[in-house]
Every structure is written in C-alpha cells, then in structure tokens.
C-alpha cells in the first residue's frame, strides 16, 4: 500500500491528531473517525470488485466528513495546516469515488 497515496494521507492525518489536546468526547470521536478513514481505505484497496471498493471508499469519505466536523467544533485547538491536510485527504478520497472520465 506504499503507493496508495490516499491511504498514506489518512495514515499521516491519524498520526498528527494523536497528540492534539481536545476535550475527551471530541478527542475520542476524532480518533475513531480518523482510524475509520485509514482502515476503510485499506479494506477497499484490497477488494476485487469496483462495487466493493466504492462501498469502502464511500464509508471512508463519510469518516473524513466526520473528522472535518470535529475539527470545526474544536477550531481554536486545531492548527490551520491540519485543516489543510484533512481537506487534501477529503479531495483525494472523493476522487476515488469520482475518477476523472
């Protein structure tokens, strides 16, 4: 999976959110959602059919949106570049579901 750029973005995002100081409910939810992004991308990457891949990639995109909501709720505690990283991950995940024709 070294060449799967979207997975690498998700993995790096997860590693960056671990040290954040957030209130417990938001921290726990962010950790779960960020892990879900990486895990669903990995599982989708391993699926043989396009329909299976798309299902897992869609779940990953939902988890990305959840991460974005948490970052919005905790705006003061979040570095701007982390928002940018997540926006890049969102766009990359979206492109897995909507490849250029």
Query: For the chain, what are the domain ranges?
Result: 5-97
Write out the two tokens for 98: 């909507």
For residue 41, what are the CA distances in angstroms to 21, 59, 70, 86, 99?
Answer: 26, 9, 20, 15, 15
pLDDT in tens, 8-48: 999 999 999 999 999 999 999 999 999 999 999 999 999 99
Angle between helix 80-97 and helix 5-17 axes, rounded to 10 deg: 150
pLDDT band of residue 100 (cuts 50, 70, 90) is confident
The pLDDT of residue 8 is 97
Residue linked to tokens 């599982």:
43
The pLDDT of residue 30 is 98
pLDDT in tens, 68-97: 999 999 988 899 999 999 999 999 999 999
Please say whether the structural domain 5-97 has been given the CATH code 3.40.50.720. no
Asked if 44 and 57 touch (Cβ cutoff 8 Å), the reply is yes
Residue linked to tokens 């938001």:
26
């Amino acid at each position: 999976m070294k060449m799967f750029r979207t997975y690498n973005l998700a993995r790096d995002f997860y590693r960056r959110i671990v040290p954040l100081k957030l209130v417990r409910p938001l921290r726990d939810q962010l950790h779960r959602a960020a892990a879900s992004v990486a895990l669903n991308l990995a599982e989708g990457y391993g699926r043989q059919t396009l329909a299976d891949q798309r299902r897992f990639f869609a779940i990953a995109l939902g988890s990305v949106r959840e991460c974005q909501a948490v970052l919005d709720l905790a705006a003061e505690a979040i570095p701007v570049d982390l928002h940018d990283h997540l926006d890049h991950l969102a766009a990359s995940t979206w492109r897995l579901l909507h490849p250029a024709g």
